[in-house]
């Protein structure tokens, strides 16, 4: 008896994937690339260097370019990494305040940005970051017109929108780190409570990377077992207050780290390195990242907002948005999150 070489030969519909994923409008195919992988990291603060260090140890790139406005700190960080050459995979590490060094990048990661001053409004902070991004994004786009732009700076969703507008890139090649780390924190809390490995927990935070993020309780599973329905079958009901308290614990966990050590770095370093690996090695993993969300889940077509949704990512950036089932309450919260972001964007004047 002949063995089937694929599910298509067995009778599965070859169009099944088109029902699972929806493409972004105006998306473009991935550019052809050589096997030499170059990553640029803009911003050599705690987050930028945690990302660079994690990328180095995971052997993702052949070349890393570091860019920062402070030349002495920049050179010091470069030398510190170079001096570890005997313990790392062979990677060329270079740095400069001139964006010409970024030429030919496959992925440009932006971590630079202004911090909020005491008493400063969110709009004032966004205006200062807009001015900074006007100096960062155009030269990145100029020197690496085929790259993927990955924004990590906060507020990440609005800054990803700004990056898209300033770069002129198709939306599939402009991505924000979004709620990828929030989802990891969510999975950790659930795994810790259930005493399982976090990698066996499927759980997403979506929407804004911030206070209005949405926990998708309806789709949580552990080892393939739907958590909420399984608990309900055993007469274990979770109140709305308990679910909201858990969501708030996820949001507040970042603030706790900042209050204790002054900043977050290692978790975001691993989160972004995971995104870089998935993008550049074309892993086609499904991860919650900030993307152009208009038209999805009832978000109006005229709302050009970036927020996090589970998406398949690879060498072309966003390959498709997962058609995940949302409850009416989850969809309502997601649209509310989109409106919050839209109100901020409309005041920027770009």
Residue 129 annotated as binding?
yes
Catalytic residue check, 325: no
Query: Is 154 marked within a binding site?
Result: yes
11 known member of a binding site:
no
Is 68 known as a binding-site position?
yes
45 is in an annotated binding site: yes
237 marked as binding residue: no
Residue 43 annotated as binding site: yes
Determine if residue 344 is labeled as part of a ligand binding site. no
Q: Is 302 annotated as a binding residue?
A: no
Show the 3-state SS of the chain: CCCCCCHHHHCCCCCHHHHHEECCCCCCCCCCCCCCCEEEEECCCHHHHHHHHHHHHCCCCCEEEEECCCHHHHHHHHHHHHCCHHHCCCCEEEEECCHHHHCCCCEEEECCCCCCCCCCCHHHHHHHHHHHHHHHHHHHHHHCCCCEEEECCCCHHHHHHHHHHHHCCCHHHEEECCCHHHHHHHHHHHHHHHCCCHHHEECCEEECCCCCCEECHHHCEECCEEHHHHHHHCCCCCCHHHHHHHHHHHHHHHHHHHHHHCCCCHHHHHHHHHHHHHHHCCCCEEEEEEEECCCCCCCCCCCCCEEEEEEEEECCEEEEEECCCCCHHHHHHHHHHHHHHHHHHHCCCC
Question: Which one from 18, 19, 36, 209 is the annotated catalytic residue?
Answer: 209
State yes or no: 174 annotated in a binding site.
Answer: no
Annotated binding site for NAD(+): 43-48, 68, 129, 152-154
Query: Residues with catalytic annotation?
Result: 209
- Extract the annotated binding site: 43-48, 68, 129, 152-154
């Amino acid at each position: 008896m002949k063995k089937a070489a694929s599910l298509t030969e067995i009778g599965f519909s070859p169009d099944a994937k088109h029902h699972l994923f929806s493409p972004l409008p105006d998306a473009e195919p991935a550019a052809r690339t050589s096997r030499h992988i170059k990553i640029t990291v803009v911003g050599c603060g705690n987050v930028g260097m945690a990302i660079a260090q994690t990328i180095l140890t995971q052997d993702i790139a052949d070349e890393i370019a570091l860019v920062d406005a402070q030349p002495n700190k920049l050179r010091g960080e470069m030398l510190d990494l170079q001096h570890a050459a005997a313990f790392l995979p062979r990677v060329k590490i270079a740095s400069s305040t001139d964006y010409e060094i970024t030429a030919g990048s496959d992925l440009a990661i932006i971590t630079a940005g202004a911090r909020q001053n005491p008493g400063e409004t969110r709009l004032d902070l966004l205006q200062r970051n807009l001015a900074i991004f006007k100096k960062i994004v155009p030269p990145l786009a100029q020197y690496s017109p085929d790259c993927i732009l990955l924004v990590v700076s906060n507020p990440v969703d609005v800054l990803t929108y700004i990056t898209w507008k300033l770069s002129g890139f198709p939306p599939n090649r402009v991505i924000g780190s979004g709620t990828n780390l929030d989802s990891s924190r969510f999975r950790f809390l659930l795994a810790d409570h259930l005493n399982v490995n976090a990698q066996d927990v499927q759980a997403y935070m979506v929407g804004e990377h911030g206070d209005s993020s949405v926990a998708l309780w309806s789709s949580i599973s552990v080892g393939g077992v739907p958590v909420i329905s399984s608990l309900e079958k055993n007469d274990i009901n979770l109140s709305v207050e308990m679910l909201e308290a858990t969501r708030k614990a996820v949001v507040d966990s970042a603030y706790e780290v900042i209050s204790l050590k002054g900043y977050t770095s290692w978790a975001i370093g691993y989160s972004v390195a995971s995104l870089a690996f998935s993008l550049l090695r074309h892993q086609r993993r499904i991860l919650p990242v900030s993307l152009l969300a208009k038209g999805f889940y009832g978000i109006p077509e005229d709302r050009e907002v970036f927020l996090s949704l589970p998406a398949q990512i690879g060498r072309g950036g966003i390959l498709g948005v997962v058609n995940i089932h949302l409850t009416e309450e989850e969809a309502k919260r997601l649209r509310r999150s989109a409106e919050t972001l839209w109100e901020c964007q409309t005041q920027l004047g770009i």
